[in-house]
Homo-oligomer: A and B are copies of this chain.
Amino acid sequence: MARERKFSTDELFQATKALLLSHGYEGFTFSLLADSLNVSRGALYKYYENKDELITNYIFYEMDQYLLKLKQINLYQGFEAQLQFLLDLMFSYSNIQKLIKIGQQVPGHQDKFKTIHTDMYRFLQDFVELGKKEGKLKCHLPNNLILGYIFQSVAIPNHSEIPYSLWVSSLKEMICHGILSNN
């Protein structure tokens, strides 16, 4: 009953993601997005009132997917298995942290994103508490700092192009046992 669309929601979101990551919140424009989709700028206004609405929608979509994955942590028994799962998940979704930060820049939506962020941290409290109860995690470290520490580490820039597998295994080692030797 209608004309065929020139771009799917998925293509729209992929282009949005690429532009957000390369240009940041302030540098992202509908003109750039329209060009990258080979579509007129006006067409985008058929779907979103403005860039803030699009960005908010997109990042929420991305975070929903992420949270869904995250909740699979409960399929694993014991702290160590859950930690491995969490670390692997983080490395395969390493852009999410950047996107959340961008989301927090959207005027009038900071609260929404802060809420989601704290919700995510609250959801992982059980995981941290489990680690502490099992005697695996250091009890004197604040829960949220442990979580922030884990999430932050995937964002380290790899300037010297260390191979991915070495990168991941080294980071896991440092997160768990630090940079110092034990002797």
A residues at B contact (CB < 8 Å): 23-27, 105, 114, 117-118, 121, 135-142, 144-146, 148-150, 152-153, 155-160, 162, 166-167, 170-171, 173-183
Contacts and interface: CB of A to CB of B under 8 A. Distances in A.
8 contacts: A138-B181, A139-B181, A141-B173, A142-B162, A145-B171, A152-B153, A177-B178, A177-B180
A154 to B, nearest CB: 10
Contact of A180 (B121, B137, B159, B167): B137
A145 B167 contact: yes
A28 to B, nearest CB: 9
Q: Which DSSP category, helix, strand, loop or mixed, fits chain A's interface?
A: helix
Nearest to A163: B142
Given A26-B27, A153-B152, A141 B174 contact: yes
